[in-house]
Amino acid sequence: GDVQWMTAGAGVLHEEFHSPEFAEHGGLFEMVQLWVNLPAHSKMTSGKYQAIEAKDIPDIALDEQGSHLRVIAGEYADAKGAATTFSPLNVWDGKLVKGQKHTLYVPEGHTTLVVILDGAVVVNDANRLEGKTVAILSREGVEFSLNAEEDTKFLVLTGQPLNEPIEGYGPFVMNTKAEIMEAINDFNRGKFGSIMQEA
């Protein structure tokens, strides 16, 4: 599917909702929402929205059976994702067909998460992940293997560690309590904007 990539930066007021057609007819709706911390020097950047359509996301075939990897952000092999990021990171959306085993390569030193959305895999011939599960891999090494016991939908998320302090309160994530207080004050003063009401 498509991707909405929003950078809150110095503040964004937003709401999300499905289409009127979906509200009327219903159906299956599946989404993943991820939050990525910005480096301290980028936290006060202007808010930004990137609408990334499925057709613009590189899709790499992993085998002839239908396993594939979509590169939403970062890079894999020779493919570069469409999302603009503020620090080195990767977001890959993949599918492995039952019985297929693949080795994926990640940047050395990155924090790496494997998120199983549906199905079951064995990671590095040792650890079985099933259903809605998240595994954090070691920062040592540049590869890991996934062996699909079932048709499996998954995400791979990697990021260069920021090694900065972090403070959070509600929807606000900053580096210090003073910055959190400033963000709350900015919100209360209307600096994040307003949500347009439908006529």
pTM: 0.89
Please state which of the ranges 9-18, 34-43, 102-111, 150-159 shows the lowest mean pLDDT.
Answer: 9-18
Lookup: tokens for 143: 């590869």
Where in the sequence is the domain holding 72, given as residue range(s)?
3-159
Work out the number of other CB atoms within 10 angstroms of the CB of residue 7: 19
Is 130 a member of any domain?
Answer: yes
Is 173 a member of any domain?
Answer: no
CA distances from 97 to 61, 68, 92, 113 (A): 11, 9, 16, 20
Q: How many domains does the chain have?
A: 1
Is 7 a member of any domain?
Answer: yes
pLDDT band at 198 (very low <50, low <70, confident <90, very high): low
**For position 24, which CATH number holds?**
2.60.120.10
> What pLDDT is recorded for position 199?
58
- 30: exposed, middle or buried (C-beta count within 10 Å: 0-12, 13-18, 19+)? exposed
DSSP one-letter code for 148: E
Is 195 a member of any domain?
Answer: no
Is 48 a member of any domain?
Answer: yes
pLDDT in tens, 137-164: 988 889 999 999 999 999 999 999 999 9
Is 194 a member of any domain?
Answer: no
Is 97 a member of any domain?
Answer: yes
Is 181 a member of any domain?
Answer: no
> What pLDDT is recorded for position 18?
79
